[in-house]
Structure 1
């Protein structure tokens, strides 16, 4: 009997991977659907249309930041699922809040696009993104701890550290939004937080795991 045949029902990786791809595709499409379309008055002349596009610049900025985040999270999840040959119940369970937040992201993105300087709007958006990447990190942690991945556990753990760092970065931006109106600019520095914060968290993890620590 093959390994796949011995898998417990509902714990094969293919269907969750396809379902996750579908949720990401829908969420990324809805980001664009939420953008306002110009009306007849805005289409009456090039100047009027240009004025409309300038007026909607914050919505386009919010769209771009959310799209890039979803793309990067989906790409890392794709890499993870290519390495996973079986699931655990915990791994499957954590996909529920993870995908819930992915599906919800178009809403705070529309809110932030309509009122980008509003601290509550920034906190809602940053909190959603932070929770999403932390769920992503949790899924990766489970895959390593339960031995679900067939290869590269060190790489997966490194990616989890980067996701934790980005999550903390978004939380920080949400807090600063109440004192800094342009705190959302920090979102575009998330790759820097991953590049430097991830290795830092990895060193902290290694130090805590070292004998005698």
Structure 2
């Protein structure tokens, strides 16, 4: 009697999920490591410490924002992996750029923390997030199209549309940053981009191609 089928070497969903979780955990920890620590002179009095904290408030805002964004991406990936019954080369391959961008995010977070109103700093952060979420969308589309997910593939494609919507929102914010120094406030509306932008993208992707019927009209068909 043969045992349960084992996945091909290098294509174990559990190992990929564990490795991805580790990268996310390290990246989220590095966000705090990048924060500036007060030195002895800043700790000498409450006023000095207060001035230090106020001076670096942009870093704390950037940390909180990046942490929440990484958390949300990780949760979505976690839900996806819980529905994955097997791996393919395309699905595994898309994890390389996806995790590269996750590991890279602490750097643009530190940059915008030091100069949050700088348009190039905002573009670097928004571009990194957009590319990361686009990779997330590609993972969902690949898993839904190749039968890797359990359940309804249409639901996975719908979630992919939400990710495409969030990625496009970050691209939009990168452009706005060169016109408006506080364009980063748009990042807080990413959930709305997922809900409404994702619904629009999903509708466009599932709409049938429009081909006019040459027999429509007053001419009778033969």
Band the TM-score falls in, shorter-chain normalisation: over 0.9
Q: In structure 1, what is the equivalent of residue 53 of structure 2?
A: 53
Q: Tell me the SS of whatever aligns to 2:10.
A: coil
Larger helix proportion of the pair: 1
Range with bigger deviation, 40-49 or 147-156: 147-156
Q: CA contact under 8 A between 1:66 and 1:109: conserved in structure 2? A: yes
Q: In structure 1, what is the equivalent of residue 114 of structure 2?
A: 114
Q: CA contact under 8 A between 1:12 and 1:85: conserved in structure 2? A: no
The structural deviation recorded for 1:10 is: 1.1
Distance verdict in 2 for CA 1:140–1:3, change over 3 Å: farther
Q: CA contact under 8 A between 1:34 and 1:110: conserved in structure 2? A: yes
Matches within 5 A, 1:159-170: 159-170=159-170
Question: CA offsets per residue over residues 16-39 of structure 1, 9 Å max, x none?
Answer: 100000000000000000000111
Q: Tell me the SS of whatever aligns to 2:65.
A: helix
* Alpha-carbon RMSD: 1.4
Question: CA offsets per residue over residues 94-148 of structure 1, 9 Å max, x none?
Answer: 0000000000000000000001111111100000000000000000000000000
> Take 2:69 and 2:211, find their aligned partners in 1: how far apart are those partners?
39
Does 2:19 match 1:39?
Answer: no
> Take 1:212 and 1:88, find their aligned partners in 2: how far apart are those partners?
35
Q: In structure 1, what is the equivalent of residue 129 of structure 2?
A: 129
Range with bigger deviation, 15-24 or 148-157: 148-157
The structural deviation recorded for 1:9 is: 1.7
Range with bigger deviation, 83-92 or 46-55: 46-55
Question: CA offsets per residue over residues 73-108 of structure 1, 9 Å max, x none?
Answer: 000100111100100000000000000000000000
> Take 1:212 and 1:22, find their aligned partners in 2: how far apart are those partners?
49
Q: In structure 2, what is the equivalent of residue 18 of structure 1?
A: 18
Does 2:55 match 1:71?
Answer: no
How many aligned residue pairs are there? 211
Q: Moved runs in structure 1, 4+ residues, more than 6 A?
A: none
Unpaired segments of 5 or more residues in structure 2? 213-222
Distance verdict in 2 for CA 1:63–1:18, change over 3 Å: same
> Take 2:186 and 2:127, find their aligned partners in 1: how far apart are those partners?
13
The structural deviation recorded for 1:154 is: 2.6
Q: In structure 2, what is the equivalent of residue 95 of structure 1?
A: 95
Q: In structure 1, what is the equivalent of residue 203 of structure 2?
A: 203
Unpaired segments of 5 or more residues in structure 1? none
Q: In structure 1, what is the equivalent of residue 220 of structure 2?
A: none
The structural deviation recorded for 1:195 is: 1.1
> Take 1:22 and 1:156, find their aligned partners in 2: how far apart are those partners?
24
The structural deviation recorded for 1:212 is: 4.9
Q: Tell me the SS of whatever aligns to 1:11.
A: coil
